[in-house]
């Protein structure tokens, strides 16, 4: 009966593991106890990559969502109902995201589905949300196809972030009209749909505006050495380098470009927005620009309050993804407050009706494509922080 | 021309790193015939060990040579210990089993390190635990609570990348009209070469090295000849892990972003390099690493840079098909 | 008229990186013949085997099986042409049953793809049945039928040897090459084995080539003996002639003693 | 009558399984269904890889690559024919037919890929083969990421949700039947011989390279099938789904189940999938526990659950176990 013994071991191990791991389970989900939906409770489901190569993004988003929930609960919840959070990890795998979404909607019966950071994973979740009639808001999936598949708008899927075409265009306009440059090189993350999307739209728009793309290089997230590409780019001496990646890589890219004696400013998107960028990038990143939802030096209280609250709660300055997560949750709750019933179609309609919601990441209005139309700001990296430069309307 | 020279410089600094990691693979494979998939993660641990020591010494604000040395030595010690532990507890129990088995444990160890380092800090975990208990209306006994307070609040580091302080001042030189070289490139190369030569000497000049080669030739017979096989294998693991630490610090010093999965790709690439040079051969690993570094650099620099990863493996496959034992590997015809 | 040539080796030479392990090895065997191949350790006996069975491609000379030139062919092709062998250090399929070991050999050459196995065609069933019968028959001959279900690794040494022979026979060879079949056996076992070999030869009418240390044994059963030393054929002929050949005696001083007391030396340099 | 039986025999398992699976398909709630599909896909992967790693004793760690080839092939077909409806067929049937064709194509293309990789690389021994397959996996990914037609990093989305419990179940049955019939056939024994002792096998007239390539091609084909099924469950295919890690997960299943043990692979695949699903709530801790489990299991049962045996060989007789001494019998 050796297999039997094996199974016993397995069971024991699992059991032990389960108990031992209660802490974070409960930590990540204060509502862990209340898997079953109850009339007096609102359950938010979040799917993010809590482990794997993009865990840091999933984590920030999760923190943002937590903050939003805690603030609402402190204020007595939504129409007197407390909010719970259930977070599932998808390890950055689309197939996992699909399964997780099914479990959240079918077993845990969440009122609203939040996630994912990456479009590829949101694309895996979206059909599930539609099929089960559970509204889904993705904080930062920028690919147009997330909300609109084959020309049809997905009924239950929304987003509070820019879409690639918009942000790409913003960067292109800024480079051409404000920086007045005509020769730009692109350095994109070939493994990342967000980066690819931005790069493509930037490229198209910039050409349309009469600029030239002197070089189009690519790297892979997690690379530690970008000098090969940078050296090649240097040979083409562009005036600006467009690097629509995540801060994790951009910081190194900036450093290595300076090490190669390149002085061009870098230009990027909201993936840059993190204090880590300044910490790791150091002097090298100074004088670069990126398009973002807000400038952290923006005096308006709603931003400053958020930044303070976040620092107080998590002991670190929020990055763009945290802010997006926060807003995604906030938009959902705002809609729940208005909705007759904080779930299903009525919630869906309420979200769709969101107009001029003062989010941290801008005044959010959900348009007929279920996308958030909001102005983008362009910020410059100065003195280890981002400084407002200009605003670009949709 | 300058561009080409620049590529050469870059390729060299990249290649030395691969070479150093590859050495670890090659030695372990040599004695154990085991692809130690956890090696890339030992490399990662090395970087973090250096990071913690550096933060403790406050290298960031006041870098100095002794501190740099301390960081290196400390990280190497940590990795050595880790390497020893991995071999002792994950591989040795399976030594006489089919090699696939230890390969799986290797993967297990690799996952354990990668995902373990992605966990929230112990302090945070403790607090969370306390929170849960209080949620149930229980509270921690005083001693436990006391322990909670002293738990490290930045270990494990979690998935967010950390900034690795420069162990020593960075100096960039411009030579031959426009080729940029930094003292880091020079130091890396120097250190790498020193360690490689040292290793070569260890393997071919010392008693330990002789024993090592004996074990790698036939561990059973070596055992019969009174060679303490287990100790030799442990030693090899320690040596390999130490080299991984060195590589990690050289990388982190000049490319100061470290995160729990930073070892994944370099690990794979270094493995490729090791096989390319003929796995089990020390000079092979060096050459393999350099060749890989250069070819990646050139491909990324002069062709479509997104094929960079592909090329490494394409090259590898070609070599294997043309010369299965690798550049420096020795043919082992099975005796019938 | 005499039966046709089963195996013919013409001036087969084998060199490993300058080291000449075998030189001008000449041998021709007719069906039903039993030839002994002897020589001290490192004489190149096993090398000769490997050259004939295709484990190594001969660096010079030709090997012919039933008149067909086979050198340069891969071992499995040569096997199909009609040469089967056993190994000096028994190489059974250890984790398979004795029956399976023999069945695999019965499969030799039959190259029907996977499809028939999946579609369970009647033809496939017949094939399976036929193979099973043949395999059992060979086990019978070797007196292993009661063991058919045992894993090869669990068989006692002597039976493993016999199983290996059964397996070789199952490939339906014209020539059977036995590499030290008696190695590690005590005197009485050896006698029995030689008896068995004789029986095989009569029953299956094949040419048998036996490598053996123990001169007396080989002398006992083979009508011709070929003596190798340092890769060179130093004697070839009837046992009694060979026994008296001074060169042979010289080559054998020491080794013969060892062999007769059936002590084993590792065949280290045997290449 | 006898003729008829002979003709039917090969399809009996399918005929038996189909109604059961259909029932499951109807009864299983959505959340159970998606897990079942996940399990099914993993079983197909594990069992098919077992043909190479377990039966033939070769060591391939590039299974995900063939998965990818199959997945993209199927995806291209189903998206290409999205608007097409075969004449005189109701929509449902016509879609099913197209999907079936897509899966067949997936297997075909994947097997071709297997052939291309196998022919040159299967002359290599042991680890070297492993490395070549690994390299091939990476190369496939790089190629996909650089091909616009394949959607690069974003991949292809909006695939029809064709895969369900029934399809997956039939896939599993097909895979298991394939492996099982192979294992007990003379062809299968040739593979086992190669695993046991390549030199001896060669000397016994077995064209080792030829058989290795065959096994490799088969396993690739079924990996392709798994890929095709998976992507039509989540209606999306991206290069991210077929990484080196994915290949490793499959290898783990095979080794954990026991090299060469079909039931072992099935059980390992199921247990691992369920365990991971069960641990999902523990987000960050999940993979840590998983890896600890992995190490613990390998240390306690180095030969996997059943070694090379099948489950009924290890069960005691009173449990209907038939302790066949022959490993693969």
Residues C206-261 pLDDT 10s: 888 888 877 777 777 888 888 888 888 888 888 888 877 777 777 765 555 545 54
- Helices D91-121 and D208-234 meet at what angle, rounded to 10? 140
CA of D244, closest CA in chain A: separation in Å? 13
Instruction: List the A157-159 sheet strands across, edge first.
Output: A82-89, A41-48, A112-114, A136-138, A157-159
**Phi and psi angles of residue D28, each rounded to the nearest 5 degrees, phi first:** -60, 125
- To probe the interface with D, which of C50, C78, C93 has the most D CB atoms within 10 Å? C93
Q: Chains with 3 or more CB pairs closer than 8 angstroms to B?
A: A, C, D
Spatial distance between the Cα atoms of D90 and A367, rounded to a whole number of angstroms = 38
Angstrom distance (rounded) from CA D291 to CA B108: 5
Nearby residues of D25 by Cβ (< 8 Å), 6 or more positions away: D33, D164, D165, D166, D169
pLDDT surpasses 90 at B209: no
In the block, tokens 């990126």 appear at A290
> Does the beta-carbon distance from A9 to D271 stay under 8 Å?
no
pLDDT for res C111 = 60
**Of A88, A237, C179, A390, residue with least CA distance to D31:** A88
Quick check: A200 contacting B, CB < 8 Å?
A: no
- pLDDT tens for B48-66 read 999 999 888 888 788 788 8
Range(s) of the domain holding residue D57: 16-242
Helical H segments across chain D, by residue range: 2-8, 12-27, 30-50, 63-80, 91-121, 126-145, 165-183, 186-196, 198-203, 208-234, 244-257, 262-278, 283-300, 311-314
C-alpha distances out from residue D246 to B163, D63, D66, D214, Å:
30, 8, 11, 23
Largest CA distance in chain B: 73
DSSP state of B173: E
* Residue C237 parent element (H or E): strand C232-237
Using the beta-carbon criterion (under 8 Å), do D155 and A120 form an inter-chain contact?
yes
Does C108 sit within 8 Å of D204, measured CB to CB?
Answer: yes
Average pLDDT estimate for D209-220: 90
Contacts of B296 in chain A (CB under 8 A): 228
CB pairs under 8 A between B and D: 122
**Chain B residues with CB-CB distance to D295 below 8 A:** 90, 105, 108-109, 112
Q: What CA–CA distances, in Å, run from B170 to B10, B173, B174, C196, D143?
A: 16, 10, 13, 82, 38
What band does B223 get if pLDDT is binned at 50, 70 and 90? Answer: confident
Computed over every residue of chain A, the mean pLDDT equals 83
Answer whether C touches B (≥3 Cβ pairs < 8 Å).
yes
What is the pLDDT averaged over residues B306-316? 80
Whether A228 and chain D come into contact, CB under 8 Å, resolves to no
SS3 assignment, position C253: coil
Domain annotation covers residue D155: yes
Q: Taking CB atoms and an 8 Å cutoff, what residues of chain A touch B125?
A: 23-24, 27
| D chain contacts of residue B279, beta-carbon cutoff 8 Å | 127
Q: Give me the pLDDT at residue A7, please.
A: 45
Q: pLDDT tens digits for B251-293?
A: 888 888 898 888 888 888 888 888 888 877 888 888 888 888 8
First to last CA, chain B: 55
Domains of chain A and CATH, by start: 15-162+302-373 (3.40.50.2300), 164-292 (3.40.50.2300)
ipTM, two decimals? 0.83
Residue D151 within a domain: yes
CB-CB under 8 Å, B336 with C55: yes
**Which residues of chain B make contact with D292, given a CB cutoff of 8 A?**
108, 112
Question: Do residues B56 and B258 lie in contact, with contact meaning Cβ atoms separated by under 8 Å?
Answer: no
Look at residue A213 in the predicted model and tell me its pLDDT: 92
Q: What are the start-end ranges of the H helices in A209-293?
A: 227-235, 247-259, 275-281
For the ranges A4-8, C120-124, C198-202, D45-49, the maximum mean pLDDT occurs at D45-49
CB contact under 8 A, B321 and D121: yes
Q: What is the rounded average pLDDT of the residues A130-135?
A: 89
Distance from CA of B304 to the nearest CA of D (A): 9
> Which pLDDT does position D315 carry in this prediction?
66
C-alpha distances in angstroms, D235 versus A68, D140, D157, D158, D316? 32, 21, 6, 6, 44
Out of 1.10.3470, 3.30.450, 1.10.10, 2.30.29, the CATH code matching B2-119+156-322 is 1.10.3470
Within 8 A by CB and 6+ apart from B220, the residues are none
Please name which of D156, D122, D157, D117 lies closest in space to residue D138, comparing C-alpha atoms.
D117
Q: What is the pLDDT of residue B336?
A: 57
The pairing of beta strand A266-268 with beta strand A289-292? parallel
Q: What gap in Å lies between CA B325 and CA B10, rounded to an integer? A: 28
The overall average pLDDT reported for chain C is: 80
Unique residue bearing structure tokens 């050139």: B298
What values do phi and psi take at B63, rounded to 5? -70, 145
Taking phi first (over 0 means left), then psi (-120 to 50 degrees means alpha), and beta for anything else, what does residue B161 get? Answer: beta
CA–CA separation, D24 and A191 (whole Å): 38
Q: Residue A178 carries which DSSP code?
A: I
Contacts of B224 in chain C (CB under 8 A): none
- Residues in D closer than 8 angstroms to B108, CB to CB, are 291-292, 294-295, 298
Give pTM, 2 decimals: 0.86
Distance CA C107, CA D26 (A): 46
Compute the distance between CA of residue A353 and CA of residue A351 in angstroms, rounded to an integer.
5
Would you list the domain boundaries of chain C? 1-82+173-271, 95-172
Mean model confidence pLDDT for chain B: 84
Q: Is the pLDDT of residue B121 over 70?
A: yes
* Touch of C by A (3+ CB pairs closer than 8 Å): no
Residue D5 resides in a domain:
no
**Residues D269-285: what's their mean pLDDT?**
83
Q: Which of C92, C97, C94, C93 is nearest to C149 (CA)?
A: C97
The arithmetic mean of pLDDT across residues C49-78, rounded, is 85
SS (H, E, C) A142-158: CCHHHCEECCEECCCEE
Could you give the percent of chain A with pLDDT greater than 70? 90
Q: How far is CA A345 from CA A77, A149, A234, A341, in A?
A: 21, 20, 54, 9
Residue D153 has its nearest CB partner, among A6, A10, A192, at A192
- Do residues B67 and B59 make contact, with C-beta atoms less than 8 angstroms apart? yes
Which residue in D63, D54, D56 sits closest to D258, CA to CA?
D54
- Tell the residue number behind the tokens 């250190």, with chain if given: B191
Can you give the C-alpha Rg of chain C in angstroms?
Answer: 19
- What is the CB neighbour count within 10 angstroms for residue A383? 8
Distance between CA B303 and CA B325 in Å, rounded?
29
Can you name the residues that pair with C145 across neighbouring β-strands? none
B160 vs A contacts (CB less than 8 Å): 56, 59, 276
**Distance (Å, whole) CA C25 – CA B64:** 74
Check residue A5 and give its pLDDT: 47
Whether the bond between A43 and the residue before it is cis, its omega within 30 degrees of 0, is: no
CA atoms of D212 and D216, how far apart (whole Å): 6
- C-beta separation of A48 from A87 below 8 A: yes
Q: Is C46 on the interface with B (CB under 8 A)?
A: yes
Map out the domains of chain B as residue ranges.
2-119+156-322
CATH of domain C1-82+173-271: 3.40.50.300
* A1, A87, A106 member nearest D31 (Cβ): A106
Q: Which chains touch D (3 or more CB pairs under 8 A)?
A: A, B, C
Helix (H, G, I), strand (E, B) or coil at A174: helix
Residue A45 bridge partners (DSSP) = A86, A113
Flag whether D128 is in a domain: yes
User: Residue C80 — pLDDT band, cuts 50, 70, 90?
Assistant: confident
Q: DSSP H helical segments within chain B, as ranges?
A: 2-32, 39-57, 65-86, 99-116, 122-135, 142-150, 183-205, 207-217, 219-224, 229-254, 264-276, 282-302, 308-322
Instruction: Answer with the residue of higher pLDDT: D86 or A47.
Output: A47
Domain-embedded: residue D256: no
User: What whole-number distance in Å separates Cα of residue D280 and Cα of residue D287?
Assistant: 9
In a domain, D263, yes or no: no
Q: Which of D53, D68, D139, D252 to substitute to test the interface with B, most B CBs within 10 Å?
A: D139
pLDDT in tens, A171-209: 998 998 888 898 999 999 888 888 888 999 999 999 999
In tens, the pLDDT along A328-337 reads 999 999 888 8
The residue with tokens 């016994």 is D204
Nearest to A235 by CA among B306, B6, B304: B6
Q: Which pair of structure tokens corresponds to residue D108? A: 């075909």
- Which residues sit opposite C20 in a β-bridge? C15
Report yes or no: C13 and C61 within 8 Å, Cβ to Cβ: yes
For B310, which of D130, D143, D292 is closest by C-beta distance? Answer: D143
CA–CA gap between residue A233 and residue A250 (Å, rounded): 15
Has residue D138 been placed in a domain? yes
Of the listed ranges A104-108, A267-271, D126-130, the least confidently predicted one is D126-130
Number of domains composing chain D: 1
What pLDDT score does A17 carry? 40
Question: What are the start-end ranges of the E strands in chain A?
Answer: 41-48, 82-89, 112-114, 136-138, 148-149, 152-153, 157-159, 183-189, 212-219, 240-242, 266-268, 289-292, 357-359, 362-366, 372-373, 376-382, 385-392
Is D126 within a domain? yes
Q: With left for phi above 0 and alpha for psi between -120 and 50, is residue A65 left, alpha or beta?
A: alpha
* Orientation angle between helical segments B282-302 and B308-322, nearest 10 degrees: 140
Calpha distance C166→C105 (Å, rounded): 9
Enter the tokens of residue B197: 């030569």
- To the nearest whole angstrom, how far is the Cα of C173 from the nearest Cα of chain B? 20
In chain A, which residues have their Cβ closer than 8 Å to the Cβ of D297?
A: 6, 9-10
Residues 6+ apart with CB under 8 A from D81: D98
Span C131-148, average pLDDT:
87
Q: Which residues are CB-contacts of D257 (< 8 A; sequence separation ≥ 6)?
A: D46, D50, D263, D264, D265, D266, D267, D268, D269, D304, D305, D306
Residue C92 has pLDDT above 70, yes or no: yes
């Amino acid at each position: 009966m050796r297999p039997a013994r094996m199974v016993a071991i397995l069971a024991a191990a699992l059991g032990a593991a389960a108990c031992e791991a209660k802490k974070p389970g409960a930590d990540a989900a204060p509502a862990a106890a209340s898997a079953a939906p109850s009339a007096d409770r609102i359950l938010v489901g979040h799917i993010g990559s809590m482990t794997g190569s993009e865990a840091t993004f999933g984590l920030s988003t999760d923190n943002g969502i937590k903050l939003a929930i805690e603030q609402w609960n402190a204020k007595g919840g939504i129409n007197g109902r407390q909010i719970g959070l259930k977070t599932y990890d998808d390890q950055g795998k689309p197939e996992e995201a699909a399964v997780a979404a099914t479990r959240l909607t079918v077993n845990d019966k969440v009122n609203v589905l939040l996630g994912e950071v990456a479009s590829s994973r949101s694309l895996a979740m979206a059909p599930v949300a539609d099929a089960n009639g559970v509204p889904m808001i993705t904080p930062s999936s920028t690919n147009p196809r997330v909300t609109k598949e084959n020309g049809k708008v997905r009924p239950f899927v929304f987003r509070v972030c820019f879409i690639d075409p918009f942000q790409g265009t913003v960067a292109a306009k800024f480079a051409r009209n404000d920086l007045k440059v005509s020769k730009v090189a692109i350095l994109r993350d070939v493994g990342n749909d967000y980066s690819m999307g931005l790069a493509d739209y930037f490229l198209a728009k910039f050409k349309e505006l009469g600029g030239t793309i002197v070089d189009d290089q690519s790297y892979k997230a997690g690379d530690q050495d970008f000098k090969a590409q940078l050296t090649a780019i240097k040979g083409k001496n562009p005036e600006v380098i467009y690097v629509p990646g995540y801060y994790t890589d951009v910081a190194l890219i900036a450093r290595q470009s300076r090490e190669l004696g390149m002085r061009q400013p870098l230009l990027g998107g909201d993936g840059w927005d993190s204090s880590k960028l300044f910490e790791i990038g150091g002097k090298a990143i100074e004088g670069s620009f990126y398009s973002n939802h807000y400038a952290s030096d923006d005096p308006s209280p709603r931003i400053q309050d958020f930044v303070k609250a976040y620092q107080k709660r998590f002991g670190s300055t929020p990055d763009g993804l945290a802010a997006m997560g926060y807003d995604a949750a906030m938009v959902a709750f705002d809609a729940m407050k208005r909705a007759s019933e904080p779930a299903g179609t009525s919630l869906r309609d309420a979200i769709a009706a969101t107009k001029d919601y003062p989010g941290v990441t801008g005044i959010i209005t959900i348009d007929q494509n279920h996308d958030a139309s909001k102005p983008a700001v362009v910020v410059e990296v100065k003195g280890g922080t981002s400084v407002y430069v200009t605003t670009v309307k949709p | 021309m300058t561009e080409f020279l620049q590529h050469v410089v870059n390729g060299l600094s990249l290649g030395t790193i691969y070479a150093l990691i590859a050495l670890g693979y090659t030695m372990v494979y040599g004695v154990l015939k085991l692809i130690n998939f956890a090696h890339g993660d030992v490399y990662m641990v090395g970087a973090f060990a250096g990071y913690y020591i550096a933060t403790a010494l406050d290298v960031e604000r006041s870098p100095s040579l002794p501190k740099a040395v301390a960081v290196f030595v400390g990280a190497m010690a940590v990795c050595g210990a880790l390497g020893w532990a991995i071999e002792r507890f994950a591989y040795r129990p399976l030594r006489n089993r089919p090699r696939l088995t230890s390969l799986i444990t290797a993967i297990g160890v690799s996952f354990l390190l990668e995902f373990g380092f992605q966990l929230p800090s112990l302090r945070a975990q403790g607090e969370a635990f306390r929170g849960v208990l209080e949620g149930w209306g229980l509270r921690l006994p005083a001693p436990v609570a006391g322990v909670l307070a002293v738990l490290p609040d930045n270990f494990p580091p979690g998935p967010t990348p950390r900034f690795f302080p420069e162990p020593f001042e960075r100096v960039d030189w411009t030579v031959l009209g426009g080729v940029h070289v930094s003292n880091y490139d020079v130091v890396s190369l120097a250190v790498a070469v020193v360690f490689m030569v040292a290793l070569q000497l260890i393997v071919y000049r010392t008693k330990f090295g002789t024993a090592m080669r004996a074990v790698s030739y036939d561990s059973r017979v070596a055992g019969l000849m009174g060679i303490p096989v287990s100790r030799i294998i442990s030693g090899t693991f320690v040596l390999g892990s130490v080299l991984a630490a060195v590589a990690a610090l050289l990388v982190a010093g000049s490319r100061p972003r470290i995160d729990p999965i930073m070892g994944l790709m370099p690990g794979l690439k270094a493995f490729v390099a090791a096989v390319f040079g003929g796995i089990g051969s020390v000079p092979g690993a060096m050459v393999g690493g350099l060749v890989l570094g250069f070819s990646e650099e050139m491909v990324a620099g002069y062709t479509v840079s997104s094929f960079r990863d592909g090329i490494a493996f394409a090259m590898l496959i070609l070599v294997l098909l043309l010369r299965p034992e690798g550049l420096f590997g020795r043919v082992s015809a099975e005796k019938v | 008229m005499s039966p046709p040539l089963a195996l013919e080796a013409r001036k087969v030479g084998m060199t490993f990186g300058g080291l000449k392990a075998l030189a001008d090895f000449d041998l021709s065997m007719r069906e039903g013949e039993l030839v002994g191949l002897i020589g001290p350790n490192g004489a190149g006996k096993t090398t000769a085997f490997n050259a004939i069975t295709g484990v190594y491609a001969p660096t010079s000379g030709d090997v012919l099986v039933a008149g067909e030139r086979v050198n340069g062919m891969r071992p499995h092709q040569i096997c199909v042409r009609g040469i089967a062998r056993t190994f000096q250090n028994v190489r059974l399929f250890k984790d398979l049953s004795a029956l399976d070991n023999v069945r695999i050999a019965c499969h030799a050459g039959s190259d029907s793809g996977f499809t028939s196995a999946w579609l369970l065609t009647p033809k496939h069933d017949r094939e399976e049945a036929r193979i099973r019968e043949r395999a059992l028959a060979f086990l019978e001959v070797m007196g292993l039928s009661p063991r058919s279900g045992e894993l090869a690794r669990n068989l006692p040494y002597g039976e493993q040897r016999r199983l290996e022979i059964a397996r070789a026979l199952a490939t339906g060879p014209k020539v059977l090459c036995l590499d030290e079949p008696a190695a590690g056996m005590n005197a009485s076992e050896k006698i029995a084995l030689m008896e068995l070999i004789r029986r095989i030869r009569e029953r299956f009418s094949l040419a048998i080539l036996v490598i053996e240390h123990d001169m007396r044994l080989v002398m006992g059963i083979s009508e011709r003996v070929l003596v190798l030393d340092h890769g060179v054929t130093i004697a070839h002929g009837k046992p009694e002639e060979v026994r008296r050949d001074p060169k042979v005696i010289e080559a054998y001083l020491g080794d013969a003693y060892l062999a007769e007391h059936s002590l084993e030396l590792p065949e280290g340099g045997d290449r | 009558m006898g003729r008829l039986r002979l003709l039917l025999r090969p399809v009996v398992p399918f005929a038996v399984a189909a109604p059961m699976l259909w029932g499951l398909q109807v009864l299983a709630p959505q959340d159970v269904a998606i897990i079942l599909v996940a399990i099914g896909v993993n079983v197909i992967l594990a069992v098919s890889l077992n043909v190479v790693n377990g039966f033939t004793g070769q060591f391939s760690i590039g299974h995900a690559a063939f998965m990818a080839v199959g997945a993209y092939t199927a995806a291209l077909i189903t998206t290409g024919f999205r608007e097409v409806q075969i004449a005189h067929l109701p929509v449902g049937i016509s879609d099913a037919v197209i999907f079936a064709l897509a899966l067949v194509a997936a297997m075909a293309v994947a097997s071709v890929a297997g052939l291309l990789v196998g022919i040159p690389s299967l002359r290599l021994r042991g680890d070297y083969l492993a490395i070549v397959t690994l390299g091939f996996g990476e190369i496939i990914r790089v190629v996909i990421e650089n091909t616009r037609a394949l959607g690069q990093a974003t991949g292809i989305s909006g695939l029809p949700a064709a895969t369900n419990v029934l399809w997956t179940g039939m896939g599993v049955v097909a895979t298991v039947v394939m492996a099982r019939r192979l294992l007990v056939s003379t062809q299968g024994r040739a593979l086992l011989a190669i695993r046991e002792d390549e030199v001896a096998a060669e000397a016994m007239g077995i064209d080792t390279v030829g058989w290795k390539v065959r096994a490799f091609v088969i396993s690739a084909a079924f990996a392709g099938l798994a890929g095709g099924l998976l992507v039509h469950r989540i209606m999306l295919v991206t290069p991210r789904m077929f990484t080196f890690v994915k290949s490793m997960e499959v290898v783990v299943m095979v080794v954990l189940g026991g090299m060469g043990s079909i039931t072992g692979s099935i059980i390992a695949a199921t247990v691992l999938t369920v365990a991971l699903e069960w641990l999902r709530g523990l987000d960050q801790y999940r993979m840590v526990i998983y890896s600890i489990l992995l190490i613990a299991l390998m240390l306690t049962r180095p030969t996997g659950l059943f070694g090379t045996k099948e489950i009924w060989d290890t069960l005691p007789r009173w449990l209907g176990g038939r302790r066949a001494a022959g490993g693969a019998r």
